Structure 1
């Protein structure tokens, strides 16, 4: 693969997202970039805040000078004439209460201009495609869905690897559910904790194992999360290998998100054979295996019932293999091939 070729025929990539803390959009960009050839990465000195936007709207288009430009993370120069943009979601429109008001207004403005001016728009789910068409009036033939993939670390692990990870992370030998813990209000962490309080009364030997870290509080509205229940084990930020072990040993993964543009954690857990409890809204039904328990994320009772069901019914090898087979449709190599097709068709 050729990177940073400085060729007039190469595709310039707006790599601003690679300079931000790890998140789903950064993972998507990095996985696709790793599989593209003849590209040049353009990186700002500072990726976040006003300086990052100023670089993106002024410095980057001056550097591009009409060249083919791909922006993989929703934002990008609004006046560049030869530009393909990947839009992950429009949560800033559908749920502005989850963001600072300045962030929501800015991104609404940027995406509206992309829809009317960009050479083409790529989205990560049919849900986001529909929202661009409904809200911004995007032409259906100018929006292409390319699903994300499963990163190679997410595969079912051996019993020995699972046991070693559990011992190292302080997880006792018991049934447990896995959930993401963070301050992003869209992840609905408060509902997980409230539902778990009811579940732990019925399943006192079971544990809820949470992972993750706080989101960018300059973007997200303030959310206070406390987990003082002794049946909750927070392992904090962990590696993808350890997370794959947690998924492989868990009774299920709990992800009652209020809003997703895609839902990488769902397909990553599924690729490890793990049962999934997730929401029946936004993109999540698209990426969930057939036996996933889809619940109303605003209904704590429904979420608790799903947790009890998963903890109370033993999983089977056949069901695990079925989930793993389902996850195979989400493939980074296939996604990169589809990006190359879009670039050939829509770049001038």
Structure 2
């Protein structure tokens, strides 16, 4: 197949989406397909303008200059080419190839649902609502979609108000490096890195500062657990540096010496963190998939997460579930009780939990996910008909 991947421009500073796009492109190239990646270049955004105007310069690069370039390049592209949008947020470009073979990958519709007022924790201003509607008008013109979870697929169908010609679910793949290892060696490595004895274990969280990751809730849960437990395991938070709100909470916490915010960690360090953790705590309010849940299970770490889809979908009945946090409730205390049950598992109980988690993680094999995607791509190419004027 000839495959062209539309990807986010590097000047946006995204992390997960470029990795996903590269994983797709590499996987298809390894399978013998001819691939290319099309993405806006930093033209206007590189101009020496005030910082307040940078966003608008980026819009010019993405939605004025880039579409013009795409229209010119399309004249040289074979008619049997498959155009792959690596994220539905690239929707404004979909109309450029709506009459060509195409497919849109969908990750989460949290921004779209927030703009419609469906998520109270994330209110959206009027400019954000306009922008999200602009995105919707684009991807709504597409006919073929691949979602990373059944929850994302349900959201897609609700937003489209129709069933598209092709709508498949392919779970994210977990890299082979996420696998069980020596717990003692992992804890020793992190003990050396943090200059603290972690041989008795620690709690782990992996995620950013996005509202739905609920890092504030994580700290509240940890505080409630420490207040009621005889255990004193530290908490390692791997991801972005804390924002001002998290930093303020951290500074006032009586357990601040036991809370570590760790940034710019390598994949190998993250794997070691999973392998050595007593438990992985992931109290997200919402997700498109919940990649860290699968990674933790694949590395042999018991998982505590929210009793909401798609977290439950990924957990596959093998995680310890806590309610979704709601204001004005005793959520932290209730969740702390679940955490206490996990950290006090007997060795035999813990082994059983890990064995079941590893079995569940087999559903998220990266190579198998790419194989399924390849089959879907091939079906779209074979069944679709281009309406291209000669």
Give the TM-score of the pair, scaled to structure 1.
0.86
Q: CA deviation at 1:133?
A: 1.3
Residue 154 of structure 2 is aligned to residue 138 of structure 1: no
Report the structure, 1 or 2, having the larger helix content.
Answer: 2
The DSSP-based 3-state class of the residue aligned with 1:154 is coil
Q: Does structure 1 residue 184 correspond to structure 2 residue 210?
A: yes
Q: Which moved more, 1:231-240 or 1:311-320?
A: 311-320
**Distance in structure 2 (CA, Å) of the matches to 1:198 and 1:142:** 46
**Alpha-carbon distance in 2 for matches of 1:164, 1:297:** 34
Tell me the SS of whatever aligns to 2:94. coil
Instruction: Name 1:120's counterpart in structure 2.
Output: 144
* Correspondence for 2:280: 253
- Cα gap change, 1:109 to 1:195, in 2 (>3 Å): same
Unaligned runs of 5+ in 1: 1-8, 216-221
- 1:35 pairs with 2:59: no
Within the candidate set 228, 233, 242, 2:260 is matched to 233
1:52 aligns with 2:62: yes
- CA distance 1:160–1:277, change in 2 (3 Å): closer
Displacement, 1:213?
0.7
1:169 aligned partner: 193
Give per-residue Cα distances to partners, 1:58-83, cap 9 Å, x unaligned.
43344234643111111141312222
Aligned to 1:219: none
**1:1-348 matched pairs, under 5 angstroms:** 10-16=2-8, 20-21=12-13, 23-36=15-28, 37-46=33-42, 49-50=58-59, 51-65=61-75, 67-74=81-88, 75-76=90-91, 77-79=93-95, 80=97, 81-82=99-100, 83-96=102-115, 97=122, 101-115=126-140, 117-139=141-163, 141-159=165-183, 161-170=185-194, 171-173=196-198, 174-180=200-206, 182-201=208-227, 202-214=229-241, 224-226=245-247, 227-228=250-251, 229-298=256-325, 299-314=331-346, 316-347=350-381, 348=384
> Deviation at 1:185?
0.9
How far apart, in 1, do the equivalents of 2:17 and 2:334 lie?
Answer: 30
Contact kept? 2:275, 2:299, Cα under 8 Å:
yes
What's 2:118 paired with?
Answer: none
Compared with structure 1, are the counterparts of its residues 106 and 197 closer, same or farther at alpha carbon in structure 2 (3 Å cutoff)?
A: same
Report the Cα offset of residue 285 of structure 1: 0.9
Point out where structure 2 has 5 or more consecutive residues left out of the alignment: 46-54, 116-121, 326-330, 385-390
Equivalents in 2 of 1:342, 1:25: separation in Å? Answer: 20
| Native 8 Å contact 1:150 1:267 kept in 2 | yes
SS in structure 2 at match of 1:178: strand
User: Number of matched residues?
Assistant: 333
SS at 2:245's partner residue? Answer: coil
Structure 2 equivalent of residue 5 of structure 1? none
CA–CA separation in structure 1 for the residues paired with 2:322 and 2:239: 22
8 Å contact from structure 1 (residues 125, 283) kept in 2:
yes
Deviation at 1:322, TM superposition (A): 2.1
C-alpha displacement of 1:336: 1.5
Structure 2 Cα separation of the partners of residues 233 and 209 of structure 1: 5
Structure having the higher Rg: 2
| 1:320 to partner: Cα distance | 1.3
Q: Are the aligned partners of 2:179 and 2:298 in contact in 1 as well (CA < 8 Å)?
A: yes
In structure 2, the CA distance between the partners of 1:263 and 1:105, relative to structure 1 (3 Å rule), is farther
